[in-house]
Amino acid sequence: MGRALIHVGYFILQKTRRFSLKKQLLVGTTICLMLFLLVCIRADQVCSSNGTALSAMASNVGLTIDYGNSSQNVYSDLSGLTVFDILNQTAGVTFIEFAYGKFVVSINGVENNANQNGFYWQYWVNDELAPIAADNYVLSDDDQVLWKYCAPEETSTPPPTANPDMVLGVVLVAFFSIFIILLALFVSRRMR
């Protein structure tokens, strides 16, 4: 999205060549401010639900993949940023990308709801069922991750359709973008 915005900004600047220098500076400043707001929103999305920035990799993480048939793969002393990173390092993973994150479809060829058995891949961190997508769960040192192929737990909740913080960020960017555009129009009319 950032690349598209840069291309749009470049196109707009090319079309404003016939404007005065003041108007060009105003349009350029508006585009820079929109890019800045976009970067701020993207930086906020890179934070976990507990506010920890994704900057330090967790170490000494354990991972168990339980296939639901007494077969398990156990790994130790792994390092990574998120639960998905750890899983992706050790297993063949297929997933679907949704607004809330990556939804794991299969691990090592074992697919969700194979033959309509009602079993799906779910994960726990330190014996607690995780409430968010695996690529959004930021790991800490010494965490123990369990991926288990089983029937959904009654305590599990469906993933949210939209992150409220992300929605707020998009609304704020839209509001400030409209404000900047209106301000630019007002100032350009006064410059005539």
Q: What is the pLDDT of residues 119-147, one digit of tens each?
A: 999 999 999 998 899 999 999 999 999 99
Share of the chain above pLDDT 70, in %: 59
User: 156: which residues sit within 8 A by CB, 6+ positions away?
Assistant: 122, 129
| Host H or E run for residue 181 | helix 164-191
Question: Which tens digits make up the pLDDT trace of 15-57?
Answer: 666 666 667 667 667 766 666 666 655 544 444 444 444 457 8
Nearest 5°: the CA angle 57, 58, 62 is 140
Question: Which tens digits make up the pLDDT trace of 67-80?
Answer: 988 899 999 999 99
The per-residue b/e assignment along 81-104, b for 16 or more CB within 10 angstroms, e otherwise, is bbbbbbbbebbebebeeeebbbbb
Q: Is 126 left (phi over 0), alpha (psi -120 to 50) or beta?
A: left
Question: What is the CA 87 to chain-centroid distance, rounded?
Answer: 17
Structure confidence at residue 143 (pLDDT): 93
Structure confidence at residue 41 (pLDDT): 55
More confident site: 120 or 154: 120
Structure confidence at residue 75 (pLDDT): 94
SS (H, E, C) 90-132: HCCEEEEEECCEEEEEEECCEECCHHHCCCEEEEEECCEECCC
Q: Is the pLDDT reported for residue 180 higher than 80?
A: no
